[in-house]
């Protein structure tokens, strides 16, 4: 089992550009959540996808959007990048059927730097 | 709304001495609580979780945490620190909406002195 995988590992963009980050969930998981971790802070919830739909969204602007594919993999898109978008972006997978008590498995993250 | 507060941003211990990382939570409901560890340049790993069963929860690598409702605390402990325990530790509460999103504390950096 490869666990949760994310690509790319690192990314450097300039202000105003657009970026797409990718995530493949752990085998058997159907739910993908995205988190942003700024330097020196705890991760913050961006949104969650289940059955190819956004189920919940955190306090992030519409510049942040996502998608889930039929194979449960997911993309995070960020438009009009700002310097403040520089962060580690973490993907977590879980199984919706196990309700609140299931563990969310995290990928290694994508380090985005906006210049 | 759910939230967690980690009371120490940095904790420094000597190898072989006990570890105590403090966490207080706020929740309108009986919460699900977790401790995650993040080693440098690595993803988050679950240490342990509390889900309204036993109040003393044992996790991996010798860590344990005790849920104390009267004190709204969920402190993480380990009897004897190892050099490999040096990392960032996050106390986490699960949101009670349908996403069960994780709400992280600000983290505690554990330093282990030889």
pLDDT in tens, B45-97: 999 998 877 889 999 999 999 999 889 999 999 999 999 999 999 999 987 66
Q: Measured between alpha carbons, how far is B71 from A57 in angstroms, rounded to an integer?
A: 31
pLDDT of residue A101: 56
pLDDT of residue A42: 93
Using the predicted structure, report yes or no on whether residue B103 has a pLDDT greater than 70. Answer: yes
Residue B78 Cα, gap to closest chain A Cα (Å): 22
Cross-chain residue pair B102–A109, CB shorter than 8 Å: no
Nearest CB partner across the interface for A45, out of B32, B34, B102: B102
Average pLDDT value for residue range A62-69 = 97
Task: Map residue A13 onto helix, strand or coil.
Answer: strand
- If pLDDT is split at 50, 70 and 90, which confidence band does B32 have? confident
Residue A109 Cα, gap to closest chain B Cα (Å): 6
**Interface check B25 vs A, CB under 8 A:** no
**Interface check B31 vs A, CB under 8 A:** no
Q: Measured between alpha carbons, how far is B29 from B38 in angstroms, rounded to an integer?
A: 27
Query: B42 or B24: whose pLDDT is higher?
Result: B24
Cross-chain residue pair A100–B100, CB shorter than 8 Å: yes
- If pLDDT is split at 50, 70 and 90, which confidence band does B14 have? very high
**Interface check B17 vs A, CB under 8 A:** no
Using the predicted structure, report yes or no on whether residue A17 has a pLDDT greater than 70. Answer: yes
CB A67 within 8 A of CB A11: no
How many CB pairs below 8 Å do chains A and B form together? Answer: 63
pLDDT of residue B99: 63
- Radius of gyration (C-alpha) of chain B in whole angstroms: 14
Nearest CB partner across the interface for A45, out of B32, B44, B101: B101
pLDDT of residue B40: 84
- If pLDDT is split at 50, 70 and 90, which confidence band does B1 have? confident
Interacting residues of A9 by C-beta distance below 8 A, sequence separation 6+: A108, A110, A111
How far is residue B28 from each of residues A67, B25, B32, B37, B48, measured CA to CA in Å? 32, 10, 12, 26, 22
Query: A56 or B114: whose pLDDT is higher?
Result: B114
Q: Measured between alpha carbons, how far is B22 from B72 in angstroms, rounded to an integer?
A: 11
Task: Map residue B85 onto helix, strand or coil.
Answer: helix
**Interface check B90 vs A, CB under 8 A:** yes
| Whole-number average pLDDT of chain A | 92
């Amino acid at each position: 089992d490869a666990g949760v995988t994310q690509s790319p590992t690192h990314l450097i963009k300039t202000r105003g550009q657009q970026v797409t980050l990718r995530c493949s969930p752990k085998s058997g998981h159907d739910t993908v959540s995205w988190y942003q971790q700024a330097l020196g802070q705890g991760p913050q919830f961006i949104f969650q996808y289940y059955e190819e739909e956004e189920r919940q969204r955190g306090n992030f602007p519409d510049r942040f959007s996502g998608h889930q594919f039929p194979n449960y993999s997911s993309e995070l898109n960020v438009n009009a990048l700002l310097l403040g978008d520089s962060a580690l972006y973490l993907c977590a997978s879980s199984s919706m059927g196990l309700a609140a008590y299931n563990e969310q498995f995290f990928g290694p993250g994508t380090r985005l730097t906006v210049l | 709304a759910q939230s967690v507060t980690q009371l120490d941003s940095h904790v420094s211990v000597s190898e072989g001495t006990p570890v105590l990382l403090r966490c207080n939570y706020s929740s309108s409901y009986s919460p699900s609580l977790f401790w995650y560890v993040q080693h440098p340049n690595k993803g988050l790993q679950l240490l342990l979780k509390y889900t309204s069963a036993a109040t003393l929860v044992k996790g991996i690598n010798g860590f344990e945490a005790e849920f104390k409702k009267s004190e709204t605390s969920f402190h993480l402990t380990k009897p004897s620190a190892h050099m490999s325990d040096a990392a960032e530790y996050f106390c986490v509460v699960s949101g009670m909406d349908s996403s069960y999103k994780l709400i992280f504390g600000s983290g505690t950096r554990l330093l282990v002195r030889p």
